[in-house]
Amino acid sequence: MKHHQSNRRRWLTRLSVTLGSIFVFRKISAESIQTPKSAEGPFYPSPSMRTADVDNDLVKVEGVVAESGGEIITLKGVVTNKEGISLPGVRVEIWQCDINGKYLHTGDKQNFPHDTAFQGFGHDITNENGEYTFRTIKPSKYPSRTQHIHVKVLSGEKDLLTTQFYIDGEPNNKNDFLFRKLSEKEAAAVSMRFTQEGDHTEAVVNIVV
């Protein structure tokens, strides 16, 4: 009986995952514009600068007991091509400064230490439905920039997209030299609209390459 129930539960889970991705897929094919490219910036962490832990949970660094400072968020979405076909097995990388605005990079000369509990850089590989997900923090203010998360999408070694995600409705956006270059539609494509899902805050940003 127990066995039967868990099989049934597994089947229902699989069904809801499938239905969920069909829904997401429909939604993006209806409104998709190509995700606008943006500058890589000076702080893309070269492999030698990364922590040994480069998974998709930036709030937890392996071997460090504490979680990083900052408001924890889930950032997720689907990666598709221009035709709306989801792309499995694609590498999505993100990097951002810690809660105090410090990058995990020797080029960041601000005179205070990086939050060692914040991974600063991480990656995910899209699953069979083209979905990626990260656990990270709401981006913090960095001098002369509005809050942003850097994003890179790669297929093998091939760079498909380099861009930046912003907080939807953030007042600092209007003063940001990169954000201001975006049309309204482009800005919407790279904006994180946060919603409260149970006990966590999440934003869905689909990526079209």
Chain residue at closest Cβ approach to Fe ion: 41
Closest CB 110 distance from Fe ion, rounded Å:
13
Residues 6+ apart with CB under 8 A from 22: none
In whole angstroms, give the CA distance from residue 151 to residue 96.
Answer: 9
β-pair type (91-95, 148-155): antiparallel
Closest CB 41 distance from Fe ion, rounded Å:
4
Cα Rg for the chain, rounded, in angstroms? 18
What's the chain's length in residues?
A: 209
Q: Pattern of binders to Fe ion over 141-180, x per CB under 5 A?
A: ----------------------------------------
Closest CB 180 distance from Fe ion, rounded Å:
15
In whole angstroms, give the CA distance from residue 42 to residue 149.
Answer: 13
101 binds Fe ion (CB under 5 A): no
Q: Pattern of binders to Fe ion over 18-57, x per CB under 5 A?
A: -----------------------x----------------
Closest CB 43 distance from Fe ion, rounded Å:
6
**Which amino acid, 130?**
G
Q: Which residues bind Fe ion (CB under 5 A)?
A: 41
